[in-house]
Chains A and B, each alone.
Chain A
């Protein structure tokens, strides 16, 4: 290799003089025209968009054409101030990856260009997917879905076993974890669910007030708001907010623990991640979810009550007195029952995707997105199942 440093770097403090700009000039020597390569052909100079444009213009003017031409003319690098790999790469591409007919160059520069020439090669074209491979891809998709279902059912079974273990020896359960999760999933979610619930209550009351007034059925707003909020909208709103908020947090926590091998460290100590990580989160969310749902429902009813007072002149006193008659108590129990299921599902889906995160950041992002999307979809699906199964209850 060259014994002198070939990439002789200008010091950063040097002012950018006009002759530092990389360029080519056509000069007529004794043996015909010579293309003189001048200036600093370094990454630092080529990184400047203005210098790059000027160089392209100069190449176009003197070295002919936009497209790299066959290097039939003579080139001289004797006047160049600095040349590094990026500059050499640019020259090599300009020469259509072949040596010019005549080249005046120092040994160091030749070594640099030879290295660039040796390592420049066409990359293998990316293999195209055939129709058959696409067809097989379909099967891969089905198998992936089955594998998700399989490990999810495994997780559910493990949760059942862990809960039995908890009931057998309650003193050895991770109670501190459970209470910490209760605080994070439950208490800290109260402000945002209240805000969203209140606004939805107001909007719902305003919209239905306009319709009800046309039929003179103003008083029925209590029935309408009561049944829809207590039975459906309160639980759904709370579940969707919690899925976005706590579901993503659970996946990210467990996913990072997988990336940093914390889960393996736990297994090595003989501690089951199911008992120590999945169960506390599932139990905490199963307890917190109905409470958040009740809270959201109450605040939404409050919003509806305020809007009914303003839009229809229905007094809060009448609203509160009429509410127990309008909404059967069974609706409340149904709401509590299904939000427990929602909470369990959200926690389990989030843990499931967290445990499947691979050891890279991209997979962590994908897992978190998948957890939130899947848990919201599953919550809506399960809600529909509840609506069909309990269609005779409470209405």
Chain B
């Protein structure tokens, strides 16, 4: 990874003046995002933090183009999400859903290969081999290829889902709670895998997480969502130093204190924080 400041690099995601409003008409209006701005540079590992219902997952869905902004602009890799061609979606962005969202009717290999095999012009051998390569890149064995999703453990489901998200080598990877539901060892392993993937593939990673260990260990920058907008953005250290009641509660609790010790302790393979463009 180059260590150039983020401001020199092209933006992966550019959100400006985003409003998300549900309801309206007869139903009472419910504002999720109020005039929200966020810029994420290419090559970052960017974390979104916020309380339950603060609109983190909705923001991911905006980046994916699954939601339409009430007002404002969301562009990914310099292209507005509304104008992107759905046929090339899998090669633009990969998404790891919280529960994996594997197709339960397909085995592991068919799950990973799905986006490629839907392009009916590629030869089946190439598709199978490409899926096998991705399967082994996420640390699974070739013999796992014929297993069904129902027979997999939580950690394996996440790995298969990651392989599926990466099958078309998208430059942008979104993660919703990547370590939720994993045991500590599994979570550590998955973090390491994410770091390796980020390193090897030059990915931009955007994740929503509540796991402070993951957050502080992996993130180059963190954004805190509260009061319907981004209240702080910067390196983990900068964000924690921001005086805001939510941030104080979030990082100041017992779990936060323990996780902070990690940040201060020597951690040789820690992702190097990147300076904020702000």
Contact B202 A6 (CB under 8 A): yes
Separation in Å of the B245 CB from the closest CB of chain A?
36
Contact A85 B145 (CB under 8 A): no
Task: For chain A, residues 94 to 133, give those with C-beta under 8 angstroms from any C-beta of chain B.
Answer: 115-116, 118-121, 123-124, 126
**A121–B136 CA distance with the chains assembled, in angstroms:** 11
Contact A121 B126 (CB under 8 A): no
Residues of chain A with a CB closer than 8 A to B84's CB: 12
Contact B150 A359 (CB under 8 A): yes
Contact B133 A47 (CB under 8 A): no
Please indicate which of the listed interface residues B132, B134, B171 has the most CB atoms of chain A within 10 Å of its own CB: B171
Contact A123 B128 (CB under 8 A): yes
**A90–B133 CA distance with the chains assembled, in angstroms:** 12
B76 within 8 A of A: yes
Mask of A346-383 contacts with B, CB within 8 angstroms, 1/0 = 00000000000011111000000000000000000000
We find that the number of chain B residues with CB closer than 8 angstroms to chain A is 47
B79 within 8 A of A: yes
Contact A12 B150 (CB under 8 A): no
Please indicate which of the listed interface residues A3, A12, A13, A84 has the most CB atoms of chain B within 10 Å of its own CB: A12
Query: Given A13-B77, A124-B143, A362-B104: A42 and B199 within 8 A (CB)?
Result: no
Which listed residue (B1, B126, B150) contacts A5, Cβ 8 A?
A: B1
Contact B88 A47 (CB under 8 A): yes
Which listed residue (B92, B116, B133) contacts A116, Cβ 8 A?
A: B133
Contact A119 B136 (CB under 8 A): yes
Contact A86 B168 (CB under 8 A): yes
Mask of B149-172 contacts with A, CB within 8 angstroms, 1/0 = 110000000000000000111010
Which listed residue (B76, B87, B133, B150) contacts A115, Cβ 8 A?
A: B133
Query: Given A7-B201, A43-B169: A362 and B132 within 8 A (CB)?
Result: no
Contact A43 B132 (CB under 8 A): no
B148 within 8 A of A: yes
Which listed residue (B119, B132, B135, B201) contacts A47, Cβ 8 A?
A: B119
Query: Given A359-B150, A362-B104: A12 and B134 within 8 A (CB)?
Result: no
Contact B133 A123 (CB under 8 A): no
A44 within 8 A of B: yes
Contact B169 A42 (CB under 8 A): yes
A49 within 8 A of B: yes
B263 within 8 A of A: no
Separation in Å of the A221 CB from the closest CB of chain B?
52
Residues of chain B with a CB closer than 8 A to A42's CB: 91, 169
Task: For chain B, residues 77 to 118, give those with C-beta under 8 angstroms from any C-beta of chain A.
Answer: 77-79, 84, 87-88, 90-92, 104-105, 116
Please indicate which of the listed interface residues B88, B121, B149 has the most CB atoms of chain A within 10 Å of its own CB: B121
Mask of A1-36 contacts with B, CB within 8 angstroms, 1/0 = 111111111011100000000000000000000000
Which listed residue (A1, A5, A12, A46) contacts B92, Cβ 8 A?
A: A12
Residues of chain B with a CB closer than 8 A to A52's CB: 121-122
Which listed residue (A84, A90, A358, A362) contacts B169, Cβ 8 A?
A: A84
Query: Given A7-B201, A358-B150, A361-B104: A121 and B91 within 8 A (CB)?
Result: no
Chain A contact residues (Cβ within 8 angstroms of B): what range?
A: 35 or more
Contact A43 B137 (CB under 8 A): no
Contact A85 B77 (CB under 8 A): no
Query: Given A86-B169, A360-B104, A361-B104: A47 and B130 within 8 A (CB)?
Result: no
B200 within 8 A of A: yes
**A329–B145 CA distance with the chains assembled, in angstroms:** 65
Residues of chain A with a CB closer than 8 A to B150's CB: 358-360
Residue of B whose beta carbon sits closest to that of A126: B146
Interface of A, helix, strand, loop or mixed by DSSP: loop
Contact B79 A47 (CB under 8 A): no
Separation in Å of the B151 CB from the closest CB of chain A?
10
**A3–B104 CA distance with the chains assembled, in angstroms:** 37
Contact B132 A12 (CB under 8 A): no
Residues of chain A with a CB closer than 8 A to B38's CB: none
**A9–B202 CA distance with the chains assembled, in angstroms:** 9
Which listed residue (B105, B130, B143) contacts A85, Cβ 8 A?
A: B130
B262 within 8 A of A: no
Residue of B whose beta carbon sits closest to that of A359: B150
Separation in Å of the B48 CB from the closest CB of chain A?
22
**A74–B91 CA distance with the chains assembled, in angstroms:** 30
Query: Given A85-B133, A119-B132, A119-B137: A43 and B78 within 8 A (CB)?
Result: no
**A5–B1 CA distance with the chains assembled, in angstroms:** 7
A140 within 8 A of B: no
Interface residues of A (CB under 8 A from B): 1-9, 11-13, 42-44, 46-47, 49, 52-53, 84-86, 89-90, 92-93, 115-116, 118-121, 123-124, 126, 358-362
Further pairs besides A5-B200, A52-B121, A85-B169: 9, Cβ < 8 Å: A1-B196, A1-B199, A6-B202, A12-B77, A12-B79, A47-B168, A123-B132, A360-B149, A361-B105
A-B contact pairs, 18 of them (CB 8 A): A1-B200, A9-B169, A12-B88, A43-B116, A44-B168, A46-B122, A47-B88, A85-B134, A86-B126, A89-B133, A93-B129, A116-B133, A120-B132, A360-B104, A360-B105, A360-B148, A361-B105, A362-B104
Considering the complex of A and B, which 9 residue pairs feature the smallest CB-CB distances, nearest first? A5-B202, A44-B91, A84-B169, A13-B78, A360-B104, A43-B168, A9-B171, A119-B136, A119-B133
Interface residues of B (CB under 8 A from A): 1-2, 10, 43, 76-79, 84, 87-88, 90-92, 104-105, 116, 119, 121-122, 125-126, 128-130, 132-137, 142-143, 145-146, 148-150, 167-169, 171, 196, 199-202
